[in-house]
């Protein structure tokens, strides 16, 4: 899975900040843990999304061809055994395609992947602003900027949790 962050490197960057160990631990246990979690969830959901979509697309293309070879005698000189095998493959493929489409629709892997990737990037950027003391942290020390950074990180986490609940909530048309 493709991850966009390197936790070991970021942890080392935090270790080099001019902060006491307690504040460094807070940064690692909140900012870095959420960044790692969201990056991991994004990567897993991206893989699931593309897997389900690939099954649906490939199966959707193959299924009519398989059914067509059985349904139209002029396209096929299959004997009875071969015809039964093609029918079984077509039946199984239609089940797989249906299940994959349903799973993508219910679990919304694509939406979750994009949501977690976006949230992770926002959190990542805020961390780098703090580490580099730029933007709203400009002219401050890491120790002086820490309360603003911690508050911003909590706001981002709260916003993401609310957004996630909206993304995973059933759509209005599904309720009816």
pLDDT in tens, 36-52: 999 999 999 999 999 99
pTM, whole model, 2 decimals?
0.67
d(CA 159, CA 161): 6
User: Quick check: helix, strand or coil at residue 67?
Assistant: helix
What pLDDT shows up at residue 99?
87
| Residues contacting 67, CB < 8 A, separation 6+ | 90
* Tens-digit pLDDT profile for residues 55-111: 888 888 787 777 766 665 554 555 555 667 777 787 888 888 888 888 888 888 888
């Amino acid at each position: 899975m493709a991850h966009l962050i390197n936790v070991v490197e970021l942890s080392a960057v935090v270790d080099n900040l001019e902060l006491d160990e307690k504040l460094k631990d807070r940064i690692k246990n909140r900012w870095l843990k959420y960044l790692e979690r969201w990056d991991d969830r994004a990567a897993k959901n991206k893989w699931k999304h593309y897997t389900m979509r690939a099954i649906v697309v490939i199966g959707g293309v193959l299924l009519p061809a398989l059914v067509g070879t059985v349904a139209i005698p002029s396209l096929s000189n299959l004997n009875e055994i071969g015809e039964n095998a093609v029918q079984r493959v077509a039946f199984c493929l239609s089940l797989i395609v249906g299940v994959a489409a349903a799973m993508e629709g219910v679990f919304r892997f694509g939406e979750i992947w994009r949501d977690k990737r976006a949230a992770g990037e926002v959190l990542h950027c805020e961390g780098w602003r703090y580490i580099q003391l730029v933007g709203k942290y400009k002219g401050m020390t890491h120790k002086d900027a820490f309360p603003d950074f911690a508050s911003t990180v909590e706001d981002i986490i709260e916003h993401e949790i609310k957004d996630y609940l909206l993304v995973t909530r059933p759509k209005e048309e599904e309720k009816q």
